[in-house]
Structure 1
Amino acid sequence: MLIEFSQGKIIVTPHEIVVRFSSLPQCVLQAEQSAVSLFGSGANILMANIGGVKWSVKLDTPEQIELISQELGCEIA
């Protein structure tokens, strides 16, 4: 599944997520499904915590978080 948001594109499969930024095409964030956390209630935050590496991205809408949740099978906190 491909989700476009204001900062770029998010590619979601049932096993992983990849974030590509329009303004930084050489920068790619990737995480396994088990490392992803989703935060809704207006926050719209996609976060990955993999060992010593942690990153987060603010998305545009609650619908984007919901689509990611459905595809990855992750609950929204």
Structure 2
Amino acid sequence: MVIDFSGGKIIVTPHELVIKVSSEHRISLQAHADAISLIGRGANVIAANGSENKWSIKLDNEQQLNQIAGQIGVEVQ
């Protein structure tokens, strides 16, 4: 599944998530599904925290967060 948001594109599979940030620098963020936390309640943030990575990015709305949650099977906190 591909989700467009104001910062670029989110590519979601059941096993991983890749975010391609719209930038002249071609930034990509990638994480396995088990390293992802989804933070709702108005924050609408994807946070990745694994043994070798730590990053977060804010989404435009809760609907995007719920789409990701449905695809990777991670509950929104």
Unaligned ranges ≥5, structure 2: none
Q: Displacement of 1:24 after TM fit? A: 4.2
CA distance in structure 2 between the aligned counterparts of 1:24 and 1:31, rounded to whole angstroms: 22
When the two chains are superposed, the root-mean-square deviation of aligned CA atoms in Å is 1.0
% same residue: 49
Alignment-derived partner of residue 70 in structure 1: 70
Runs of 4+ in 1 over 3 A off after TM superposition: none
What's the CA shift string for 1:12-70, capped at 9, x where partnerless? 00000000011245211000000000000100000100114200000000000000000
Please tell me whether residue 28 in structure 1 is matched to residue 18 in structure 2. no
Please tell me whether residue 3 in structure 1 is matched to residue 6 in structure 2. no
Unaligned ranges ≥5, structure 1: none
Q: What TM-score does the superposition give when structure 1 sets the normalisation length?
A: 0.95
Query: How many equivalent residue pairs?
Result: 77
CA distance in structure 1 between the aligned counterparts of 2:52 and 2:23, rounded to whole angstroms: 26
CA distance in structure 1 between the aligned counterparts of 2:40 and 2:15, rounded to whole angstroms: 21
